[in-house]
Structure 1
Amino acid sequence: MEQILGVDETTRTLYFTACGREKGLDPYFEHIYSVKLDGTQLRNLTPGDFHHTADISDSRKALVINRSRVDVAPVSELFDNTGKKLLALQETDLRLLFEAGYKFPERIKVKAADGVTDLYGVMYKPFDFDPERKYPIITYVYPGPQVEGPGQSWSRSMDRLDRLAQVGFIVITVGNRGGHPNRSKWYHNFGYGNLRDYGLEDQKYAIEQLAARHPFIDVSRVGIHGHSGGGFMSTAAILQYPHFFKVAVSCAGNHENNIYNRWWSEKHHGVVEEISAKGDTTFKYSIGTNSQLAKNLEGRLLLIHGDIDNNVHPGNTLRVANALIRANKRFDMLILPGQRHGFGDMTEYFFWRMADYFSQYLLGDYQNTVDIPQMYND
């Protein structure tokens, strides 16, 4: 169960959202269910291969249900409490986008590195995609464990990946073992005790599978990008697999979790109970840091951080920079003044610096003028 929508006390019926129950469908897609309070008469009110959200009326007799996928425009409809459609309310009008050349991304499914576990994701292509060309591939990562990178619905929040693909890349985002808890306890707990590296092998193997499947992917030109936990992960990836990942843009990464908050690192990595000879009990944990791997850098790494980030302290990035300097490595770093964890009004500037960086080192084609002309577009 994901969310309780409401309870009809007269009919003793509970309405809620949940995922992973419907065989053959994306396990991340949420559906709307009803069930009697005694556990009988469980019913899926939203059959179909879509992600659903809903609001229920105060009378519990009607629901406004929104359905979408990354490759389907959102639709809002009115249903009664048995799942019968009463009225089509609105469908998102994307005609102007399509007239401008927009194309939906594609849903993808690959195996984890164990060869058994299914991983789900999204692939973004240039709108002028040519299947006869070879494209570099960039993966956008967020390791979890509380959520994963891929979205389930079409939304404007997909624009960073869509736009990056238009520069001339295949851009993907795919889950990994140790990610979203809705999959299963085993899936969610896969990274317990290995919070730095648990998702890296799956991300690498996902790209290898896609390259074997699609001749337009050039597996010799691989980039990786992430923010926050994804910043931590993308830097770890280029340091743990330096011959595979050639370029990384890592933003606001919690590279050293001994100076990050305890609720995330201790909870998801775990602590070890130690009892001394005197009977004193202490709890210790140690998560591998990216600074420990600095000597492995072979590719191109851009570290980005807001200087007043009040979630992941900038010291995380500065410690990695210090380790890279002491390892005699060339790298790049961008500090965004006055910006917190999300980069605020410098988000657009960050995007074009990232696009330039990937273009320079994966395409060999980039702008080196002082001005960024795209920043002047309305």
Structure 2
Amino acid sequence: MNRRFIMMLVAGLLSLPSSLNAQHIPTLEEAVNRTLIKTEGGGSVNWMVDGERYWKWERNANGGFDVVAYKAKDNSKEVLIPAKMLVNPKTGKPMTVRNIVFNKENTKALVYTNSKRVWRYDTRGDYYVLDTQNGEMQQLGKEFPESTLMFAKFSPDGTKVAYVSQNNVYVENIADGIVTALTTDGSDIIVNGTFDWVYEEEFGCRDGFRWSSDGQYIAYWQSDTSGTGWFDIINNVDSIYPIIQRFPYPKAGTTNSAVKVGYVSVNGGATTWIDLPGNPRNNYIPRMDFIPGTNELFIQQMNRSQNTNRIWVSKIGEPKPVNIFTDTDKAWVNTNDNVLWLKDNQYFTWTSERDGWRHLYLISRDGKQTKLVTDAQMDYENEVGVDMKKGIVYFIGTLDNYTQRYLYQAKLFGNGKVERVSPLNESGQHRYVMSPTGKWAVHTFSNAQTPPVIDMVSFPGHKTVCGITDNAEAKNQYKSLGLNPKEFVKTKSGNLELDAWMIKPINFDASKKYPVIIEVYGEPASSTVQDVWGGGDLWDQYLANLGYIVISIDNRGANVPRGREWRKCIYGEVGTFASEDQARGIQELGRKYSFIDMSRIGITGWSGGGSQTLNCMFRYPDVFNTGIAVAFVADQRLYDTIYQERYMNTPQNNPEGYKKGSPITYVSGLKGNLLLIHGTGDDNVHYQNCEILVNELVKHGKIFSQVSYPMRSHGIFEREGTTMHLRKTMADYWLKHLPAGGR
């Protein structure tokens, strides 16, 4: 064999697709444990008050973790808090620190440690004040039981700290450790300074108090849970007798907690309750904060139907709040975060869908003037930051590809023109953590095939200052697997175009027909078809390489930036349009791609996706023949007030909608194979849903399979071996009931 031929052969081999050079199909263990691709973080940073530096944790030469500040302009660093300072003064052992918050001067820091989980988040623990100059550590709330302090915050002048313990609000003077109780009626029923279960889950509310601008008052929420139905979770695994866990949980159409807001002097005394109109059990107060530099509270109050958001301003010392603005929608309105006050508080920013798109508006203080800031046929998804000096607001959105996200800018007092800022050559999703000045941002770019690339950029201009991580190793690890990448495609439900993706096995043969596993969510809270890095999609790749095509479709109502009509056309119809679109969508893909075997269509989903799995299996049994439903809502009346009523109104006002949207209504339609999976300790979507559905399936003589995980929550991840067992159970079920491989 001559040299020239050998060189040509080698060149030819090198030019072959990577999938032929090297292939490694993830094992179940590798897919679950995510050991094949290791990405570095760095995109989530904590900007400091000066807007020129950010801090992060960094391992030192001794194996400890220092708090290190980096300058944005040149990436130079300094150690703000060495690991040797973060030592428990009682035990002399290193602390496990959950979070650190600096005062304005960076001379003191609140150190949050010994944290404990409360529902979703570990929001109670112990707090210490650390003097960053001399390392002295002072514990707050020493008189309270261990790990009971919540949301500790410095006063504006840094001399005091306020916090919540056991549903009461306190202020502690740092200099002498004197603690003043601002509330004393906190109990299992009365909740001060934090929230009940449903406010946390659906409004994202946990921290329930605010310092006034002058540091003389604390404004806080109080929830009276009396009259709200209590739900019991039975723990049968941690004792020889059952342990009952009880908490208030208002189910759709039932009685809410009575929620109100008030303020109290930091020196103690009586609370002044703000006289908001309406029944406190049939109105919500999802947001409240002080207008910057004032002692005026800016309060958002929603009616129970959540189609009206009234804005009130209440000044400390004045008896009545003033309604300055009201936003309405025939379906629902959303809470407004990142409200920005401009021109000496003469204007504030507001997002609304009043013209068919989610846009940013300027509203005058008296509510009489409304000006459109983002005048484009696109949704303003979320604010990234503001350059006050230049009058520019930066935000995330997309003009034409709803699976992708980019940074845009607009003038706050301009003509409404919107300009893209993210690089044109980086197709996918962009995320930014912007400095308070709007001058710098940590920028993260990724797409389905590209692990996060993180750099520091300057504005205006989006110029790269320095790289933080390019995750080149992770990119090579992903590429070396030789897997078929996620493909983004289009399908239809009637005349409506839908976004979808598919993953094929590496030995895919287009002349054969393959079974399909559809991953569905389908509810208004999220979206599954996104061009963003998902760790290499190793679980989906594992399933695909068992011999399936894995597909996901975003149905009507999915939370994507396609305008108001797309998102809100499902009002009162949650579950019905979703299952219809999933059925029509896969049928259209079956017509479009001959390699899809329409006689072998499976579907699976978690939470709302579990509900849609059931709806698809029961309502379209001739399309879907195998399903795995995880942590599902079987009857919409069993879910909470805020979420379910936002999209469906109450069961009393929309009984037909609740009936049509609930899978349990269509149990008699089941023909195929069905596996139900649920955690008995699920405080979100209660195990009650599974038991009620099982009862109905038995009543109709339907054969099904069921796996219950004792005392696992909605994520079904707690306790040893759980995640592996769950995924193996799912994989085994697919192989047994939805025969794999091309035919």
* TM-score, normalisation: structure 2: 0.45
Q: Deviations over 1:97-155 (max 9, x none)?
A: 332333321111122x231x221122112233232332101111111212222233012
Residue in structure 2 matched with residue 323 of structure 1 by the alignment: 696
Question: Which of 481, 484, 502 pairs up with 1:103?
Answer: 484
Query: How big is the shift at 1:262?
Result: 1.4
Residue in structure 2 matched with residue 344 of structure 1 by the alignment: 717
Deviates more, 1:190-199 or 1:317-326: 190-199
Q: Which amino acid aligns with 1:101?
A: G
**Does 1:138 pair with 2:517?**
yes
Q: Which amino acid aligns with 1:114?
A: G
2 CA distance for matches of 1:110 and 1:204? Answer: 11
Superposition pairs of residues 112-123 of structure 1, within 5 angstroms: 113-115=493-495, 117-123=496-502
CA RMSD of aligned residues (A): 2.1
Residue in structure 1 matched with residue 681 of structure 2 by the alignment: 308
Question: Which of 411, 418, 421 pairs up with 1:42?
Answer: 418
Contact 2:408 2:418 in 1 (8 A): yes
Query: How big is the shift at 1:39?
Result: 3.0
**Does 1:356 pair with 2:356?**
no
2 CA distance for matches of 1:343 and 1:177? Answer: 28
Residue in structure 2 matched with residue 62 of structure 1 by the alignment: 440
Deviates more, 1:86-95 or 1:45-54: 86-95
Contact 2:521 2:528 in 1 (8 A): yes
Q: Deviations over 1:204-261 (max 9, x none)?
A: 1221222222222111100000111111110111110111100000001011111111
**Does 1:185 pair with 2:575?**
no
Q: Deviations over 1:5-26 (max 9, x none)?
A: 222222222222223xx2xx31
Which has the larger share of helix?
A: 1
Aligned to 1:198, the other structure's residue is in SS state helix
Contact 1:256 1:290 in 2 (8 A): yes
Residue in structure 2 matched with residue 79 of structure 1 by the alignment: 457
Q: Which amino acid aligns with 1:306?
A: G
2 CA distance for matches of 1:197 and 1:15? Answer: 37
Query: How big is the shift at 1:299?
Result: 0.3
2 CA distance for matches of 1:104 and 1:137? Answer: 16
Query: How big is the shift at 1:326?
Result: 0.8
Question: Which of 159, 165, 170 pairs up with 2:538?
Answer: 159
Gaps of 5+ in 1: 273-281, 366-378
Deviates more, 1:218-227 or 1:131-140: 131-140
Superposition pairs of residues 210-289 of structure 1, within 5 angstroms: 210-271=589-650, 283=653, 285-286=655-656, 287-288=658-659, 289=662
Residue in structure 1 matched with residue 77 of structure 2 by the alignment: none
2 CA distance for matches of 1:229 and 1:333? Answer: 18
1 CA distance for matches of 2:649 and 2:487? Answer: 36
Contact 1:77 1:85 in 2 (8 A): no
Question: Which of 448, 452, 475 pairs up with 1:94?
Answer: 475
2 CA distance for matches of 1:337 and 1:233? Answer: 24
Query: How big is the shift at 1:364?
Result: 6.7
Contact 1:146 1:181 in 2 (8 A): no
Q: Which amino acid aligns with 2:698?
A: I
Q: Which amino acid aligns with 2:494?
A: D
2 CA distance for matches of 1:347 and 1:76? Answer: 30
Aligned to 2:569, the other structure's residue is in SS state helix
Which has the larger share of strand?
A: 2
Aligned to 2:738, the other structure's residue is in SS state helix
Residue in structure 1 matched with residue 406 of structure 2 by the alignment: 31
Change (3 A) 1:222 1:34: same
1 CA distance for matches of 2:655 and 2:484? Answer: 46
2 CA distance for matches of 1:58 and 1:190? Answer: 37
Deviates more, 1:196-205 or 1:312-321: 196-205
Query: How big is the shift at 1:310?
Result: 0.7
1 CA distance for matches of 2:503 and 2:484? Answer: 9
Query: How big is the shift at 1:86?
Result: 2.4
Count of matched residue positions in the alignment of Structure 1 and Structure 2: 350
**Does 1:18 pair with 2:393?**
no
Aligned to 1:245, the other structure's residue is in SS state coil
2 CA distance for matches of 1:26 and 1:85? Answer: 24
Q: Deviations over 1:277-304 (max 9, x none)?
A: xxxxx74545123222121111000011
Aligned to 2:502, the other structure's residue is in SS state strand
Change (3 A) 1:222 1:104: same
Deviates more, 1:303-312 or 1:351-360: 351-360
Q: Which amino acid aligns with 1:290?
A: P
Q: Which amino acid aligns with 2:490?
A: K
Query: How big is the shift at 1:69?
Result: 1.8
Contact 1:145 1:178 in 2 (8 A): yes
Deviates more, 1:248-257 or 1:164-173: 164-173
Q: Deviations over 1:60-90 (max 9, x none)?
A: 2232322222133332233331334325623
Q: Which amino acid aligns with 1:147?
A: S
**Does 1:198 pair with 2:577?**
yes
Gaps of 5+ in 2: 1-379
Change (3 A) 1:47 1:327: same
Contact 2:523 2:575 in 1 (8 A): no
1 CA distance for matches of 2:631 and 2:565? Answer: 29
2 CA distance for matches of 1:105 and 1:306? Answer: 31
2 CA distance for matches of 1:231 and 1:260? Answer: 14
Contact 1:71 1:107 in 2 (8 A): no
Contact 1:236 1:290 in 2 (8 A): yes
Query: How big is the shift at 1:157?
Result: 7.9
Query: How big is the shift at 1:181?
Result: 5.5
2 CA distance for matches of 1:181 and 1:76? Answer: 24
Query: How big is the shift at 1:28?
Result: 3.9
* TM-score, normalisation: structure 1: 0.86
Query: How big is the shift at 1:173?
Result: 0.8
